[in-house]
């Protein structure tokens, strides 16, 4: 709450007032659209936009993060509740319960400083899920755009197909026209007048058109009566079995929602040079969800689009979010009758326009260039999320497991290289640079941690070097790339050293890191191997080896000798 003291400056208050009102003009229609996406009455979106932005601003770490209903969380809410709820009343109660569970889980992570768990959601998984989620969200609104109804099938793609068949049989022309007008207004404003609130203009224009043309009387669906007044405090009633059923969805929404929020917050913090505390942000997001659940709301998160509007409108402190909440409060108390004729087709158009920007192919292509495995994870997550929809958590879980599995596979087979001197004096891979090496001395490098999954591979490669060099007397292990060693790695190193000793080959170790040396000191392996075989540089290790080989060895013509300077220097 450090920013509260900055409100003594009138310029700060004025900037936050303007930003807060600007965000509210976007939030009011967006929140109603997202509530519709979540399967809730539209005014529940307004309930989730009243207190949560204020609470997140007061207890979070980011000053410009705009919290409230967002598309992906709304979709995941609908996916979690539809299989469980047996009536509209239970659906509403479960939505509130889900918000409470999400908030409690996020607060738990924040209070115990477990925000690092979010790191298990790798960027490729999030990219794949976000792209699939955007397609699912957009296609879920086709029925409202065409003015048709189709039975929900077991899989989302079947529901989409049923919707398209229903649209082919009989599209409701006034509904489609209203949606096209909304699309045209939002696209035109964004294209030619980007500073103006296109969503609000589309809502106002189509609402007036629906009122003046009798859209509802012609069979068009409108928002209808919205209860005026603020949401009351209430705790939903539920059975214990319901909590168990919602736990997977609550955890998934907590992590996905927070990852979206923290990524936005980090981008803005870099721009404004603020200090951002991820665990404190978890507490702020968690409290905002708890308050949303206690005041007839549903799960919320930080919004990318509204946060961008907030910071671009000049927001300086969290007071802008307080202003946004106050404007929503005024809307709930005084302005709800004006929303009666708002077409649901307009809200569907708002949702589709909002999620189009989430569909991005470039990050997948970039991931392929960086690491093909990551691109595979992204594509698999995308395909499985689409295939399993509306069970969105399955796609994410499989994506996370696949990314962890591929990471483990890569670390099981790290790069192993036999080294020799390059013309610039550095040690390079003999296969890559086509270098000569000494038949009696071999320098090798292992570019990975020596742990249970890679220890066997390390031993195999070392013994392969021995088999390929029958005159070998010394192996120098360049350990710069070995960051960690566990019990299995230490055991393998111990047995390898003994096996080499039995064959008359001495293992010399160079450039080992502190954590490696601490481990072998604790186990006593360093004392067994002897202090004389550990060196801080490869050059020092080579000096030791040459001294052991004696004057009979022509060190001046050794391929491992540096051409630039004496290794003894």
488-540 per-position pLDDT tens digit: 999 999 999 999 999 999 999 999 999 999 999 999 999 999 999 999 999 99
Point out the domain boundary residue: 371, 405, 439: 405
In a domain, 494, yes or no: yes
User: Does the residue 368 lie in any domain?
Assistant: yes
What is the predicted pLDDT for the residue at 569? Answer: 36
pLDDT in tens, 50-95: 999 999 999 999 999 999 999 999 999 999 998 888 889 999 999 9
392/452 same-domain check: no
Rounded Cα gap, residues 451 and 448, in angstroms: 9
pLDDT in tens, 479-499: 999 999 999 999 999 999 999
Scanning 371-513, the segments in alpha helix (DSSP H) are 372-388, 392-412, 430-433, 455-468, 487-502
Residues 376 and 495 in one domain: no
Range of the domain at 270: 9-173+216-405
pLDDT value of residue 247: 94
DSSP state letters, 294-343 = HTT----EE-HHHHHHHHHTT--STHHHHHHHHHHHHIIIIIGGGGTT-B
240 and 301 co-located in one domain: yes
Q: Which residue has the higher pLDDT, 425 or 161?
A: 161
Q: For the chain, give the percent of residues with pLDDT over 90.
A: 72
Handedness of CA 466, 471, 473, 476 (dihedral sign): negative
**Final residue in a domain of this structure, among 405, 432, 454:** 405
Same domain, 324 and 437: no
Does the residue 128 lie in any domain? Answer: yes
The CATH number linked to 449 is 3.30.750.24
Give the pLDDT band (50/70/90) at residue 564. low
Domain boundary among 405, 431, 446: 405
pTM, whole model, 2 decimals? 0.82
Burial of 428: CB neighbours in 10 Å, binned 0-12, 13-18, 19+: middle
215 falls in which pLDDT band (50, 70, 90)? Answer: very high
Q: Which residues, in sequence order, are CB contacts of 515 under 8 Å at separation 6+?
A: 483, 484, 485
In this structure, is residue 207 part of a structural domain? Answer: no
Going by pLDDT thresholds of 50, 70 and 90, the confidence category of residue 410 is confident
Average of per-residue pLDDT across 161-166: 93
Q: Are residues 372 and 255 part of one domain?
A: yes
List phi, psi (to 5°) of 391.
-85, 80
The verdict on 373 and 422 lying in the same domain is no
Q: Are residues 149 and 233 in the same domain?
A: yes
Q: What is the C-alpha to C-alpha distance for residues 529 and 206, in angstroms, rounded to an integer?
A: 82
Query: Do residue 399 and residue 425 come from a single domain?
Result: no
Averaged pLDDT of the chain: 91
CA-CA-CA-CA torsion sign (207, 211, 213, 217): positive
Give domain status of residue 399, yes or no: yes
Any domain includes 263: yes
Tens-digit pLDDT profile for residues 248-290: 999 999 999 998 888 888 888 878 878 888 899 999 999 999 9
In a domain, 136, yes or no: yes
Q: In terms of DSSP H, where are the helices of 38-153?
A: 43-47, 52-59, 71-81, 88-111, 123-140, 142-146
How many domains does the structure of the chain reveal?
Answer: 2
For residues 229 and 328, membership in a common domain is answered with yes
Given a cut of 50, whether residue 345 has pLDDT beyond it is yes
**Statement to judge: residues 392 and 419 lie in one domain:** no
Q: Are residue 247 and residue 221 in the same domain, yes or no? A: yes
Span 349-369, pLDDT tens digits: 999 998 888 888 999 999 999
Let me know if residue 516 belongs to a domain.
yes
Does 69 lie in the same domain as 155?
yes
Q: How far apart are CA 63 and CA 317, in angstroms?
A: 5
């Amino acid at each position: 709450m450090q920013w509260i003291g900055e409100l003594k400056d009138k310029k700060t208050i004025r900037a936050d007032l303007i930003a807060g009102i600007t965000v509210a003009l976007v939030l009011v229609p967006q929140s109603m659209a997202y509530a519709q996406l979540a399967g809730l009455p539209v005014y529940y979106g307004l309930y989730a936009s009243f207190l949560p932005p204020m609470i997140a601003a007061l207890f979070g770490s980011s000053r410009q993060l705009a919290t409230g209903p967002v598309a992906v969380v709304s979709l995941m809410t609908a996916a979690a509740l539809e299989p469980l709820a047996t009536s509209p009343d239970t659906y509403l109660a479960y939505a509130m319960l889900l918000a409470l569970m999400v908030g409690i889980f996020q607060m738990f992570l924040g209070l115990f400083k477990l925000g690092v768990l979010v790191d298990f959601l790798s960027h490729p998984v999030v990219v794949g899920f976000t792209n699939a989620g955007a397609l699912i969200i957009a296609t879920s609104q086709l029925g409202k755009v065409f003015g048709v109804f189709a039975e929900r099938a077991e899989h989302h793609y079947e529901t989409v197909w049923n919707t398209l068949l229903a649209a082919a049989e009989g599209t409701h022309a006034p509904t489609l026209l209203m949606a096209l007008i909304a699309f045209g207004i939002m696209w035109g404003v964004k294209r030619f007048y980007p500073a103006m609130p296109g969503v609000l203009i589309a809502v106002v224009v189509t609402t007036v058109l629906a009122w003046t043309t009798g859209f509802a009387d012609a069979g068009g669906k409108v928002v209808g009566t919205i209860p005026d007044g603020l949401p009351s405090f209430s705790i939903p009633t539920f059975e214990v079995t319901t909590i168990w059923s919602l736990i997977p969805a609550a955890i998934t929404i907590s992590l996905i929602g927070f990852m979206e929020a923290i990524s936005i917050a980090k981008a803005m913090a870099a721009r404004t040079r603020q200090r951002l505390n991820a665990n404190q942000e978890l507490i702020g997001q968690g409290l905002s969800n708890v308050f949303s659940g206690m005041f007839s709301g549903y799960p919320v998160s930080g919004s990318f689009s509204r946060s961008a509007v907030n910071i671009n409108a000049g927001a300086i402190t969290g007071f802008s979010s307080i202003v946004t909440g106050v404007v929503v409060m005024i809307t709930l108390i005084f302005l709800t009758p004006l929303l009666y004729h708002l077409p649901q087709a307009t809200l569907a158009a708002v949702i589709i326009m909002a999620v189009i920007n989430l569909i991005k192919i470039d990050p997948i292509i970039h991931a392929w260039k960086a690491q093909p495995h990551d691109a595979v994870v992204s594509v698999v997550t995308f395909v499985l999320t689409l295939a399993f929809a509306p069970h969105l958590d399955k796609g994410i879980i499989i994506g996370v497991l696949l990314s962890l599995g591929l990471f483990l596979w890569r670390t099981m087979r790290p790069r192993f290289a036999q080294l020799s001197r390059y013309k610039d004096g550095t040690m390079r891979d003999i296969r890559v640079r086509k270098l000569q090496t000494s038949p009696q001395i071999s320098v090798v490098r292992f570019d990975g941690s020596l742990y249970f999954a890679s220890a066997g591979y390390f031993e195999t490669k070392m013994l392969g070097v021995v088999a390929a060099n029958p005159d070998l007397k010394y192996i120098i292990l360049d350990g710069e790339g070995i960051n960690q060693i566990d019990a299995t790695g230490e055991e393998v190193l111990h047995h390898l050293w003994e096996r080499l000793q039995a064959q008359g080959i001495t293992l010399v170790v160079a450039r080992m890191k502190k954590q490696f040396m601490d481990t072998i000191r604790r186990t006593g392996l360093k004392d067994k191997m002897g202090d004389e075989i550990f060196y801080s540089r490869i050059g020092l290790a080579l000096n030791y080896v040459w001294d052991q080989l004696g004057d009979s060895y022509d060190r001046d013509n050794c391929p491992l000798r540096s051409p630039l300077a004496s290794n003894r220097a």
